[in-house]
Structure 1
Amino acid sequence: MKINKLLLFFLIATIFSFTSHKYYLSLTQIKFKENAKAVQIITSVFMDDIELALNKDYNIDLQLTTKKELENNDIYFEKYLKSKLSFKVNDIAANFNYIGKEYEGDLVYFYLEIDNINQVKSIDIDNKILIKHFPEQQNLIKSKVGSKNKSILLTKENHQNKFKY
């Protein structure tokens, strides 16, 4: 049933992408890697949206994927993500390490990791990425711990969730 809802969501998102109104969506994928004793996180956002948000918030001019791109832009990305994205693992606040970013098409992928995690019984997430600048922003969260997959769509009004495994 949840898979059907997820497929329906992506179908609707695809339809909206062909209309004149822009659709604001990010995807955060969370996966517990037991052998690495780490929770690995990949967050993808539209490049133009994150660029606009950081330029306004930090009074900078990122100019992503151009010759004029700021060399130290990872400082701003990390600062922004740490202010808009937080986690608890097993009800304990968990700081993530910013590993880096990658550009692909019109998306930016951010790689994050929470280390020294032996097991995962629950993950709390608070995701306010891009909500300040785009009130219609929706942040899809997908998680996998062992064989259990869970997902939720977070919004400005509901930007927190707890996954129990």
Structure 2
Amino acid sequence: MKLKIHLLLFIALPLLSFTAHKYYLSLTQINYKSEAKAVQIIINVFMDDIELALNKDFDIDLQLTTKRELKNNDVYFEKYLKDKLALKVDGKEKNFNYLGKEYDGDLVFFYLEIENINKVNSIDVSNKILIEHFPKQQNLIKSKVGKKNKSVLLTKDESSTLLEY
């Protein structure tokens, strides 16, 4: 069943990125890279949704992918993500580094990293991205530590989970 959900999301998310969407879904991929001793995180969200959320939360006008796009928009993205996403590795709260973002069609990809992680037995994730503005928002979490994969779908009513490896 989980494989079917992942396959559907893998196919549906890119297709939905080229049309007006009525689905509110983000994907957060969390991978532990032992050789880098780091937890690497990629988040993708619909551009119009994140733009609306940040414009309302910070009283700004981002105008993403236009000539009038704010030059310092990474400041707002980083602040928003640090407010809406919290991670604990093996029970210890960890701050992530915001590495940047990339636009692809109607999606924004955010790149984050937690450094100096020697081993991972569990990751506690709290993901409230876009939930305040879109009550039907769902945030899919996919993770990989070693050869173990875990996935969970978070919602407004259940916005955190503990992933054990």
What TM-score range do you get, normalising by the shorter chain? over 0.9
1:61 equivalent in structure 2: 61
Q: 1:2 to 1:132 in 2, by over 3 A?
A: same
Give the CA RMSD over aligned residues: 2.2
CA 1:156–1:77: 2 relative to 1, 3 Å: same
Q: What CA distance in whole angstroms lies between the structure 2 residues aligned with 1:34 and 1:118?
A: 7
- Size of the aligned set, in residue pairs, is 165
The equivalent of 2:148 in structure 1 is: 148
CA 1:21–1:78: 2 relative to 1, 3 Å: closer
Shift of 1:2: 2.7
Distance 1:37 1:21 in 2: 37
Provide closer, same or farther for how the CA distance between residues 47 and 34 of structure 1 changes in structure 2, counting only shifts above 3 A. same
- Structure 1: tracts of 5 or more residues without a match: none
Q: Is the contact between residue 47 and residue 108 of structure 1 (CA under 8 Å) also seen in structure 2?
A: yes
Match of 1:50 in 2: 50
Q: 2:2: which partner in 1?
A: 2
Please tell me whether the aligned partners of residues 16 and 22 of structure 1 are also in contact (alpha carbons under 8 angstroms): no
TM-score between both structures, scaled by the size of structure 2: 0.92
Matched residue type, 1:88 = K
User: 1:69-98: CA deviations, max 9, x gaps?
Assistant: 000000000000000000000000010000
Give SS of 1:36's match: coil
Unpaired segments ≥5 residues, structure 2: none
Matched residue, 1:109: 109
Indicate the SS of the match to 1:133.
Answer: coil
Point out 4+ residue stretches in structure 1 off by more than 2 angstroms.
Answer: 4-17
| 1:14-57 CA distance string (max 9 Å, x none) | 9999x987100000000000000000000000000000000000
